[in-house]
Amino acid sequence: MNIILLGAPGAGKGTQAEIICERLSIPTISTGNIIREALKSGTEMGLKAKSFIEAGSLVPDEVVIGIIKERLAKGDCENGFILDGFPRTIPQAEALDKMGVVIDKVIDIEVTDESIVKRLSGRRVCEDCGASYHLEYKAPKVDGKCDKCNGTLVQRKDDHPDTVLSRLEVYHKETEPLKAYYEKQNKLVIVYGQDEVQDTTKLVLQALEA
């Protein structure tokens, strides 16, 4: 099954992606994680993306489309994949269609802007494996340490309050139109994000089975 997870930054796409990925044994492709990796290792692509990601704006379409083309060509995507954070603009969605990639379902996780701000300010991510946590809603077993790999948990630069508002603005302007785009293709399913991760997961799994 080829799945897209849509939703505002901090709606819980990454967390749900990790869970579906284990359940269905298909890889998650997170453009955000790929770009942050590139940034850390200082590749050319990372350098190109740095100023955009830190300002909370989108990395140019051609850069992310290139990332996705390369990633989807790998063998582990043959039995399906979950796209987390791609597409984020209409041209990106059109690029997927042009590549001949057939999407089965688009799950849109809806969360209000107010809770997004709360969620992002409490979010912490693992420096090593990218897993995400929340100080209040999804605390790690050991303070400041990743449950999965014992890496150090940090706050992303773009999760600071001043950047969050501009990311939300970008989401409403550039990404939200994708709902109508996939609604037209009859692929959109809306799921309302719940306070408890597992409650949202239930709804997501129902949406995938429907």
- Positions annotated as catalytic residues are 13, 88, 123, 156, 167
With CB under 6 A as the contact rule, the residue among 58, 82, 116, 207 that binds ligand ADP is: 58
- SS3 for the chain, per residue? CEEEEEECCCCCHHHHHHHHHHHHCCCEEEHHHHHHHHHHHCCHHHHHHHHHHHHCCCCCHHHHHHHHHHHHCCHHHCCCEEEECCCCCHHHHHHHHHCCCCCCEEEEEECCHHHHHHHHHHEEEECCCCCEEECCCECCCCCCECCCCCCEEECCHHHCHHHHHHHHHHHHHHHCHHHHHHHHCCCEEEEECCCCHHHHHHHHHHHHHC
Return the one option of ligand ADP, Zn ion, none that residue 129 interacts with (CB less than 5 to 8 A, by type).
Zn ion
Residues 167-186 that bind ligand ADP (CB under 6 A): 167
- Comparing CB distances to Zn ion, the nearer of 38 and 170 is 38
Residues 18-57 that bind ligand ADP (CB under 6 A): 31-32, 35, 52-53, 56-57
Letters for 94-133 (x = contact with ligand ADP by CB under 6 A, - = none) are ----------------------------------------
Residues 146-205 that bind Zn ion (CB under 5 A): 146, 148-149, 151
- Comparing CB distances to ligand ADP, the nearer of 28 and 201 is 28
Return the one option of ligand ADP, Zn ion, none that residue 134 interacts with (CB less than 5 to 8 A, by type).
none
Q: Which residues bind ligand ADP (CB under 6 A)?
A: 9-10, 13, 31-32, 35, 52-53, 56-59, 64, 85-88, 92, 158, 167
